[in-house]
Amino acid sequence: MTAHRMVLPASTIPIGVYRMTGFWRILCLAVSVAMIVGGIVAIIYTWLGTGADIPPNKGIFTAFAAGDVAMGCYIGASLLKGRITLYRNAIESAGVWKQYRLAKADIAGKLIMSLGAPTIVLYPKAKHGKKMMVSLTFTPDHIFSDWMDEIPPLTQAMLTTRNRQKSN
């Protein structure tokens, strides 16, 4: 009996996977832990504490503290699950609950912005297509840089035309 090797198409083999690193990883971890611990301590203090410092409406305060815990868990989960995957002909962004893939041939251009971290916004050619935001919370390597260099920059005229088309 001979084993057959399955050959995958090049479009399904990642050429680079990028996750949050360095300062951004430490910041997200610190914020996540602070929100979870702070929320839990606030809930415990609200229900078990004594004295004049306890808020009169425990339910509302507990809801806000539970929201802190939930947001801390979300930030921690995004730290673990968030990634950018490059393929030869596409880019994929994965988060906690969703994944979005954009084919390279469907990208009209890119715009580089600073939203805390430098961010590359990829605009699709389709009039009602969804743009993809790639925050550079990782150190780009030559594979990532070369891939992005193949995407043309979006000019102000192109962006204005795109916004006009989208409103029609």
Q: Mind listing the pLDDT tens digit for each residue in 37-55?
A: 999 999 888 888 766 666 6
User: Which tokens hold the place of 26?
Assistant: 């430490």
Mean pLDDT for the stretch of residues 157-165:
65
d(CA 72, CA 66): 10
Tokens 């950018």, residue? 84
pLDDT band at 110 (very low <50, low <70, confident <90, very high): very high
Specify the range with the lowest mean pLDDT, choosing from 15-24, 25-34, 69-78.
Answer: 15-24
pTM of the model: 0.74
CA angle 10, 14, 17 (to 5 degrees): 170
Tokens 């715009």, residue? 111
Q: Are 87 and 14 in contact (CB under 8 A)?
A: yes
